[in-house]
Structure 1
Amino acid sequence: MVAYVARRLIQTMLILIGISFVTFVLLYLVPADPARQIAGRSATAATVENIRQQLGLNLPFHEQYLRYLGGLLNGDLGRSYLQKTEVSTLIASRLPASLLLMAGAIFCELLFGLTMGVVAALNRGSRIDETLMVASFVGVSAPQFVIGILLLYIFAVQLGWFPIGGYGTFAHLVLPSLTLGFLGAGWYSRMMRSSLIEVLRQDYVRTARAAGIARARVLLGHALPNAILPIIAMIGIDIGLFMSGIVVVESVFGWPGIGQLAWQAIQRVDIPIIMGVTLVSACAIVLGNLIADLITPLIDPRIRLR
């Protein structure tokens, strides 16, 4: 276990360095000029050039990247061009909101998705199965901003059950979590249904039923632990996706997460923030998959980490 985790952490470092290089190249090729963005439209050429020299933007590409990589290896994500604040400080200030939204969204998609998938699998071919699968298809296909606006209109404007937007209380969390969870629930329900149907066909399940074991016990003790294994891998990916924030949902609900920070930075060509959010998101995805891989053997002892 220790050796496996050590190997994965080394792989994580190499992946992050690779992502930092690719992202840096793409941002370097962007035609927008950060120095001009900072100086403003009315600034003189001399002022713009002075800012470019202060930020090191006049250096060759390899020098800029090595300079950034050196700071990154020392735990320095850089300093925002426009906000004049350390990127790590800005990300840390948005982190609680992103973690809260991530937890709420994963809870909603698992609650609705797994329930729908299990019910559909146990009623395969029935009207219930068809209705739930149609609902999951709608959830997967519907744009998130449309779902968000509909939830806001119904539950915030018309019924007044929840606030229209903002952050700070449990009531503020419900609608954004449902919006994100609605999409995830569609994927989870379809995967859970397929996985559970396949498991229910296995010989050991039929043997357990033939031995007179109660259906609920067979389902909970034998079928579900095996059917849920693909779901765990998806949760690991979702941890990274939700951790980075969903820009559309955060914009609709005014949620102050990392995704909103990244969108503001993109509009202003604030490269250090874009780089910092990209690396934090990549790290979250890798660590989420690592956690999923470590949990899987606890559910199915036949699986060994190598």
Structure 2
Amino acid sequence: MVVYIARRLVQAVLILLGVSVITFALLYMLPADPVRQIAGRSATAQTVENIRRELGLDQPFLVQYGRYLLGILHGDLGRSYLQRTEVSSLIAARLPASLLLMAGAIVCELILGLTMGLFAALKRGTATDQALMVGSFIGVSAPQFVVGLLLLYLFAVRLGWFPIGGYGTFAHLVLPSITLGILGAGWYSRMMRSSMVDVMRQDFIRTARAKGLARSTILFRHALPNAILPVIAMIGIDIGLFMSGIVVVESVFGWPGIGQLAWQAIQRVDIPIIMGVTLVSACAIVLGNLLADLVSPLIDPRIKLQ
């Protein structure tokens, strides 16, 4: 286990290094000039050049990236060009809200997706099965900003059950979590149905039935732990999808997370913030996949970490 984790951590470092190189190179080649955003439209050419020199943006790509990488090794993500604040402080202030929203979304997608997939598998070939699969297809296909606006209009504006936006209470968390969770629930329900149907055809399930075990015991003790494994593997991948979807959802609901921070930085070409949010998102994806791999053997002892 220790050797496996150590090897995965080394791979994670290499992945993050690759992400930083690609992201930095893409931002370096952007036609938009961050110095112009800082200096303003009325700035003289000399002022623009002074700011460029002060920020080190007049240096070649390798020099700029090397300096940035050296800062990361010392725990420094740089300073925001416009806010004049450490990027690590800005992200640390917004990260708890995003993590809370992500946790709520994962809970929603698991409850909705696993329940729909389980019922669809048990009712395979019936109208219930078809209706649930159509619902999952709609959930996967619907744009998140449309889902968010519809939920806001129905449950916040028309019914008044939840606040329109903001952050701080459980009521504020419900609608954005459901908005994010619907997409994953659609994928999970389809995968859960397929996996459950396949597991229910296996020999060990027929043996359990032959022994006279109760239907609930067969379903929840023998079938479900085996059918759920592909879903667990997807959770780590979903963290990356949440990081991309969170930008939209946080904007719709006024949620003060790193998604909003990233969107504001993109609009202003604030490169240090964009780099910082990208690296934090990459870390979340890598750790999510590692956690999924570590949990799988606890559910199915036949799985060996190599």
Letter in 2 for 1:33: D
| SS of residue matched to 2:219 | helix
Question: C-alpha offsets along residues 16-49 of structure 1, whole Å, 9 cap, x if unaligned?
Answer: 1111000010000001111111000000000000
Letter in 1 for 2:77: L
- Distance in 2, Cα, partners of 1:138 & 1:119: 17
| SS of residue matched to 2:181 | helix
- Distance in 1, Cα, partners of 2:134 & 2:62: 52
Answer whether contact 2:101 2:176 (CA < 8 A) is retained.
yes
Specify the alignment match of 1:232 in structure 2. 232
Specify the alignment match of 2:182 in structure 1. 182
Answer whether contact 2:80 2:86 (CA < 8 A) is retained.
yes
Specify the alignment match of 2:261 in structure 1. 261
Is residue 2:27 matched to residue 1:27? yes
- Distance in 1, Cα, partners of 2:26 & 2:215: 55
Answer whether contact 1:99 1:243 (CA < 8 A) is retained.
no
Deviation at residue 245 of structure 1 after TM alignment: 5.7
Letter in 1 for 2:5: V
Letter in 2 for 1:235: I
- Distance in 2, Cα, partners of 1:96 & 1:120: 36
Is residue 2:52 matched to residue 1:52? yes
- Distance in 2, Cα, partners of 1:239 & 1:295: 16
Deviation at residue 134 of structure 1 after TM alignment: 0.7
- Distance in 1, Cα, partners of 2:61 & 2:218: 61
Answer whether contact 2:251 2:260 (CA < 8 A) is retained.
yes
Q: Which runs of 5+ in 2 are unaligned?
A: none
Deviation at residue 73 of structure 1 after TM alignment: 1.1
Specify the alignment match of 2:213 in structure 1. 213
Is residue 2:98 matched to residue 1:98? yes
Q: How does 1:112-261 map to 2 (within 5 A)?
A: 112-243=112-243, 246-261=246-261
| SS of residue matched to 1:124 | coil
**Which aligned segments of 4 or more residues in structure 1 are displaced greater than 3 angstroms?**
none
Alignment TM-score, normalising by the size of structure 1? 0.98
- Distance in 2, Cα, partners of 1:6 & 1:20: 21
- Distance in 1, Cα, partners of 2:145 & 2:58: 40
| SS of residue matched to 1:25 | helix
Deviation at residue 240 of structure 1 after TM alignment: 3.6
Q: Which runs of 5+ in 1 are unaligned?
A: none
Answer whether contact 1:244 1:258 (CA < 8 A) is retained.
no
Deviation at residue 259 of structure 1 after TM alignment: 1.0
Deviation at residue 242 of structure 1 after TM alignment: 2.6
Answer whether contact 2:144 2:245 (CA < 8 A) is retained.
no
Specify the alignment match of 1:88 in structure 2. 88
Alignment TM-score, normalising by the size of structure 2? 0.98
Percent of aligned positions that are identical: 79
Deviation at residue 243 of structure 1 after TM alignment: 4.8
Q: How does 1:264-303 map to 2 (within 5 A)?
A: 264-303=264-303
For these two proteins, the number of residue pairs brought into alignment is 306
Question: C-alpha offsets along residues 140-197 of structure 1, whole Å, 9 cap, x if unaligned?
Answer: 1111111111111111001111100011111100000111111111110000000000
